[in-house]
């Protein structure tokens, strides 16, 4: 099995900071803020003992999918800079097949500052990532035996997703979509609704994103929402587990209470675990359980620094 992931190429920085660290920099604790790379660079330079690695939702999913012992690829755009070089080296070391474009803008960066109570303040400088050219992605990325996994943040330019999905469908690929964010789901609601109704075999979202699309709560509207879609609808519910619906049947999977070290990429890890089971032909109940188990492993380490052997051992215990 192979998962062909496409999304924003961001170099991640994850740091544990004092409670008032973000507010001293002028940011509201718990917020997500888009800033320029020239503003982000000096902030990152001050962060204590930060963990740094290639990231972005699609890369996170590809990394975990590869760690589970499967083939994964990633298409995205970096800048022609030192951070871009680090990004390329990191995904190569993760066993991810790279289909990377280079742009004139700086490589995109993501920064999570985590307070002692677990509250995350997120700073993002998208840089070159948002300039991905879908027509320049090599044909080898679109293989019929692969499944396309799309990071919904690409919907900042809906035509980008439309072109990528069109090429994937023409190649005979199945398509999985992660909605990726409440704000982007709200802004591009009609676009996402059309996409999930016509093109997707799997749709991942959290509760806020579901509400943005369905305009109702999960318990109230999940079955009704699924009737109008073409695939399996999966809602990630953080500490309460996950729920999915297919052909009118609703399945739930709870999680064990675990204190999280870092929740960065937990939803991406869940998707990787779920898709690992789904592409092997497992029933949906096992897909949910494996997604939860993989996410459980992810939240216990900073910045998705997963041990592949330990992850595969944990996955093997899921029945």
In this prediction, residue 257 carries a pLDDT of 83
Residue 75: CB atoms within 10 Å: 25
> Among candidates 39, 125, 111, 19, which has minimal Cα distance to 78?
125
Task: Give residue-wise pLDDT tens across range 127-141.
Answer: 999 999 999 999 999
Q: Residue 301 pLDDT > 90, yes or no?
A: no
Q: Residue 222 pLDDT > 80, yes or no?
A: yes
Phi–psi pair at 11, nearest 5 degrees: -90, 120
β-pairing verdict for 242-246 and 96-103: unpaired
Task: Give residue-wise pLDDT tens across range 9-20.
Answer: 999 999 999 999
Q: Residue 303 pLDDT > 80, yes or no?
A: no
Task: Give residue-wise pLDDT tens across range 270-289.
Answer: 999 999 999 999 999 999 99
Q: Give mean pLDDT, residues 58-63.
A: 97
The secondary structure of 74-96 as a DSSP string is EEEEEESSHHHHHHHHHHHHTTE
Average pLDDT over the chain reads 94
In this prediction, residue 283 carries a pLDDT of 94
* Domains recognised in the chain with CATH numbers: 2-10+54-107+127-316 (3.40.1190.20)
> Among candidates 218, 149, 156, 211, which has minimal Cα distance to 188?
156
């Amino acid at each position: 099995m192979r998962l062909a992931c496409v999304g924003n190429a961001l170099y991640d920085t994850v740091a544990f900071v004092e409670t008032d660290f973000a507010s001293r920099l002028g940011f509201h604790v718990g917020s997500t803020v888009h800033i320029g790379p020239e503003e982000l660079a000096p902030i990152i330079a001050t962060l204590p003992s930060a963990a740094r690695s290639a990231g972005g939702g699609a890369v996170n999913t590809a990394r975990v999918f590869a760690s589970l012992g499967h083939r994964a690829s990633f298409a995205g755009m970096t800048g022609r800079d030192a951070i871009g070089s680090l990004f390329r080296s990191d995904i190569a070391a993760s066993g991810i097949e790279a289909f990377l474009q280079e742009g004139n803008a700086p490589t995109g960066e993501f920064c999570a500052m985590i307070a002692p109570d677990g509250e995350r303040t997120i700073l993002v400088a998208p840089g070159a990532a948002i300039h991905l050219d879908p027509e320049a992605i090599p044909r080898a990325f679109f293989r019929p035996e692969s499944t396309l996994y799309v990071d919904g943040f690409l919907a900042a330019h809906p035509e980008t997703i439309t072109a990528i999905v069109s090429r994937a469908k023409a190649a005979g690929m199945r398509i999985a979509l992660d909605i990726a964010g409440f704000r982007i789901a709200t802004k591009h609601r009609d676009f996402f609704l059309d996409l999930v109704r016509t093109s997707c075999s799997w749709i991942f979202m959290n509760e806020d994103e579901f509400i943005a699309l369905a305009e109702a709560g999960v318990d109230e509207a999940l079955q009704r929402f699924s009737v109008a879609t073409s695939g399996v609808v999966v809602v990630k519910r953080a500490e309460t587990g996950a729920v999915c619906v297919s052909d009118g049947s609703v399945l739930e999977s709870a999680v064990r209470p675990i204190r999280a070290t870092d929740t960065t990429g937990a939803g991406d890890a869940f998707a990787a675990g779920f898709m690992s089971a789904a592409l092997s032909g497992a029933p949906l109940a096992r897909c949910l359980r494996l997604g939860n188990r993989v996410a459980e492993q992810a939240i216990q380490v900073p910045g998705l620094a997963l041990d592949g052997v330990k992850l595969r051992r944990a996955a093997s215990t899921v029945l």
